[in-house]
């Protein structure tokens, strides 16, 4: 059981977390525009998250919290 | 479930002004994580430069001083001489450290000033909108090298770690990158060593971090990291250029 | 004691343990003295790679909350103006010594007073002032260095000792008296490590919002007004009934004192007002003297710089003349007496 959560208002939508994710289960939330004007990143498939925190290590904005 | 990754305490809650995908944010976090791990936030003073990271004083939770352009090593020297028991680090970009502040950098290094220097090399002046930096690559297009950097006119880039590694006062000169998680882990280890050197009174440590500038390179954040790997890493090879620690001696 | 060495010893007596400098004639004895003394008293003497680095080391040490000093001569002070502006803009205290030599450019190495404008008008870019003290004896060099540290701390701003090559090289007896410690505010703003006991301190001069920057500068100028009302200093010599008031500071004031004495001996009612603070300029003393004087004469080792402030102070109430030499030449008492006599003749 693991989970990554994106702080939607902190995310700048750069997409670097997606390149770091070994499971390729992070995408942009196209339905949401945050206060900065970006589509924030979002975990697409919670089942597949292994909580490796590689997304969070790649995030320049400390916008990701990882739980395991 | 327990939280296994969140923002380090040594970073404030102030949102950074950095562009999306700018790797300054990663480097800030690594420095803050090291400060947290060593438990030194209360005794650390950081020196912010002039350049994109000028507002770093708002982002680190330790005491901070904002230096004039290029003078961070001199300001850090004054701080460290006044407070030898405190931990002093400077955070500087390529224009700050290797152009306007070259004299301050070289002399702080050769004095073996017991400070830790985080040097962010992204081959461009970011804050002023993308002009040539001392580390801009030959042929690289910037606002002030619109036809590409012509080394016959503009001269050649400076390889800072190589240059400083010839100086006796330098305890650690290491070039790292934050283009991928693997390299980020190496970068953090190097930054930690830089701070540990200071705690052990070993002298001047510089960690050069190869970084990206998607906005001024005119690339997406993901493309920028590809460009970094293809163009910057061949010119600025990663690795340890000088390390006087016991552990390094053991490896010889 | 030699003037330059007196400056250095006074700084040590004032509790300064951090000196950052760079060799330049004619102030080098300050650095040499510090290099000899500081290691023996647990202080720091550091020869920087440049004047620019030296003033920024002062910025760093001042940020840490300690008393820091740098010294130089005219061309070196030009290099320090960047740092002085940042120090003023960060509300940090420090002391800067300028043992003036001739300019512009590399100029010469003989005594001069041609940096008055720089010290009082443009010690750095932006809206700012620094305290400027002008000693005229070696004893006063000692006393004013101590005052400079105190007032810099009190008002959180840089203070400059504006001396010249003649005073720096002069030998005179001095007495370094124990002084009562002045009650000064604690440096709660210092960036010296928060020990997890307070929010982080930021020493900074950057304010990107125009309104914020204006508010801060306006606050600083209110402080400057307090200083102008409380800290003006000057010495008056035979000026109470003087018809001809000579205004001179530093080395040239010594010459003028002799000239005034000689003029009095010849029956001319001459007097001298010697500014001790150049910023704040002792405008009150000038205005008081302008009530009885018929003529002012400003004497400087320059083409005439302080004369601007004398004219601003008397605001047209009396004519203000000027006599001076530049390039490293000190006016002689006979020359100044000659000028006084010319004016006395004209006044009759």
pLDDT on residue B111:
98
pLDDT tens-digit series, residues C35-82: 999 999 999 999 999 999 999 999 999 999 999 999 999 999 999 999
Answer yes or no: do B225 and A19 touch at CB < 8 A: yes
Tell me: pLDDT of C347 over 90.
no
Domain ranges within chain C, ordered by starting residue: 3-169, 235-347
User: Is there a domain that residue B243 lies in?
Assistant: yes
Extended strands (E) in chain B? 3-5, 44-48, 63-66, 87-93, 116-121, 170-177, 204-210, 239-243
pTM of the model: 0.97
pLDDT tens-digit series, residues C285-306: 999 999 999 999 999 999 999 9
Are chains B and A touching, using the cut-off of 8 Å on CB pairs and a minimum of 3 such pairs? yes
Q: Which chain A residues touch B3 with a CB distance below 8 Å?
A: 65-67
Q: Give the three-class secondary structure for A65.
A: strand
pLDDT confidence band for A19 (50 / 70 / 90) = very high
Residue of chain C whose Cα is closest to the Cα of B110: C49
- Classify B218 in phi/psi space as left (phi over 0), alpha (psi -120 to 50) or beta: left
Domains and CATH numbers, chain A: 3-67 (3.30.70.20)
User: Is there a domain that residue B125 lies in?
Assistant: yes
Parts of chain B with a pLDDT under 50: none
Q: Give the three-class secondary structure for B83.
A: coil
Torsion of the alpha carbons at C320, C321, C326 and C330, rounded to the nearest 10: -100
Is the Cβ of A53 closer than 8 Å to some Cβ of chain B?
yes
Answer yes or no: do C53 and B103 touch at CB < 8 A: yes
Tell me: pLDDT of C4 over 90.
yes
- CATH number of the CATH domain containing B124: 3.40.50.970
User: Is there a domain that residue B36 lies in?
Assistant: yes
Domain that holds residue B238: 24-251
CATH architecture of C3-169: 3-Layer(aba) Sandwich (3.40)
Question: For B61, phi and psi rounded to 5 degrees?
Answer: -80, -15
pLDDT tens-digit series, residues C210-261: 999 999 999 999 999 999 999 999 999 999 999 999 999 999 999 999 999 9
Mean pLDDT for chain A overall:
96
Residue B157 to residue B154: CA distance in whole angstroms: 9
- What average pLDDT does range C73-95 have in this prediction? 98
Quote the number of domains for chain B: 1
What is the maximum span of chain B, computed from C-alpha positions, in angstroms?
A: 60
User: Is there a domain that residue B3 lies in?
Assistant: no
Q: Which chain C residues touch B13 with a CB distance below 8 Å?
A: none
pLDDT confidence band for A47 (50 / 70 / 90) = very high
Residue recorded with tokens 């982080």: C200
Are chains C and B touching, using the cut-off of 8 Å on CB pairs and a minimum of 3 such pairs? yes
Q: Does domain C235-347 have CATH number 3.40.50.920?
A: yes
pLDDT on residue C348:
46
Residue C177 to residue C191: CA distance in whole angstroms: 32
Residue C25 to residue B75: CA distance in whole angstroms: 25
Residue C100 to residue C25: CA distance in whole angstroms: 9
Nearest by CB to residue B20, choosing from A12, A20, A62, is: A12
pLDDT tens-digit series, residues B169-206: 999 999 999 999 999 999 999 999 999 999 999 999 99
């Amino acid at each position: 059981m693991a989970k990554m959560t994106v702080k939607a208002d902190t995310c700048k939508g750069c997409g670097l977390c997606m390149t770091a994710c070994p499971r390729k289960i992070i995408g942009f939330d196209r339905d949401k525009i945050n206060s900065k004007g970006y589509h924030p990143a979002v975990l697409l498939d919670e089942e597949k998250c292994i909580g490796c925190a590689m997304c969070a290590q790649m995030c320049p904005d400390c916008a990701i919290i990882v739980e395991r | 479930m327990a939280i296994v990754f969140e923002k380090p305490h040594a970073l404030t809650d102030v949102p950074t002004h950095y562009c999306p995908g700018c790797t300054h944010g990663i480097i800030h976090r690594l420095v803050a994580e090291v400060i947290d791990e060593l438990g030194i936030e209360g005794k650390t003073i950081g020196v912010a430069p002039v350049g994109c990271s000028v507002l770093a004083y708002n982002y680190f939770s330790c005491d901070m001083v904002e230096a004039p352009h290029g003078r961070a090593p001199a300001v850090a020297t004054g701080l460290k001489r006044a407070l030898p028991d405190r931990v002093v680090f400077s955070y500087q970009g390529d224009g700050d450290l290797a152009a306007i502040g070259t004299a301050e950098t070289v002399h702080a290094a050769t004095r073996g000033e017991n400070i830790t220097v985080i040097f962010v090399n992204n081959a461009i002046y970011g804050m002023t909108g993308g002009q040539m930096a001392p580390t801009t690559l030959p042929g690289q297009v910037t606002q002030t090298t619109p036809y590409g950097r012509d080394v016959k006119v503009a001269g050649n880039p400076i390889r800072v770690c190589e240059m400083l590694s010839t100086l006796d006062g330098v305890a650690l000169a290491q070039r790292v990158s934050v283009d991928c998680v693997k390299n980020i882990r190496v970068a953090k280890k190097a930054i930690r060593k830089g701070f540990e050197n200071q705690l052990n009174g070993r002298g001047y440590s510089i960690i050069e971090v190869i970084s990206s500038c998607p906005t001024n390179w005119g690339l997406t954040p993901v493309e920028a990291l590809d460009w970094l790997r293809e163009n910057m890493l061949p010119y600025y090879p990663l690795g340890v250029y000088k390390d006087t620690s016991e552990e390094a001696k053991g490896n010889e | 004691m030699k003037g330059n060495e007196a400056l250095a010893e006074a700084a040590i007596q004032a509790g300064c343990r951090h000196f950052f400098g760079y060799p330049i004639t004619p102030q080098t004895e300050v650095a040499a003295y510090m290099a000899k003394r500081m290691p023996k008293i647990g202080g720091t003497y550091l020869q920087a790679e440049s004047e620019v680095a030296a003033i920024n080391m002062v910025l760093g040490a001042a940020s840490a909350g300690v008393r820091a000093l740098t010294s130089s001569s005219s061309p070196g002070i030009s290099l320090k103006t960047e740092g002085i502006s940042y120090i003023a803009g960060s509300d940090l205290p420090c002391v800067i010594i300028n043992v003036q030599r001739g300019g512009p450019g590399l100029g010469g190495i003989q005594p001069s007073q041609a940096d008055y404008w720089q010290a009082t008008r443009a010690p750095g870019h932006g809206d700012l002032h620094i305290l400027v003290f002008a000693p005229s004896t070696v004893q006063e060099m000692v006393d004013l260095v101590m005052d400079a540290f105190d007032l810099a701390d009190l008002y959180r701003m840089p203070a400059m000792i504006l001396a010249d090559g003649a005073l720096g090289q002069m030998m005179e007896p001095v007495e370094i008296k124990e002084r009562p410690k002045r009650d000064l505010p604690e440096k709660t703003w210092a960036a010296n490590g928060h020990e997890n006991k307070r929010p982080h301190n930021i020493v900074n001069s950057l304010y990107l919002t125009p309104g914020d920057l204006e508010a801060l500068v306006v606050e600083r100028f209110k402080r400057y007004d307090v200083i102008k009302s409380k800290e003006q200093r000057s010495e008056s010599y035979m000026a109470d009934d003087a018809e001809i008031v000579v205004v001179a500071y530093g080395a040239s004031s010594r010459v003028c004192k002799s000239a005034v004495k000689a003029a009095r001996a010849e029956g001319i009612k001459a007097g001298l007002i010697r500014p001790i603070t150049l910023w704040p300029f002792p405008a009150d003393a000038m205005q008081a003297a302008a009530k009885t004087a018929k003529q002012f004469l400003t004497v400087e080792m320059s083409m005439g710089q302080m004369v601007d402030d004398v004219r601003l102070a008397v605001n047209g109430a009396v004519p203000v003349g000027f006599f001076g030499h530049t390039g490293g030449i000190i006016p002689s008492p006979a020359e100044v007496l000659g000028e006084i006599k010319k004016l006395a003749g004209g006044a009759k």
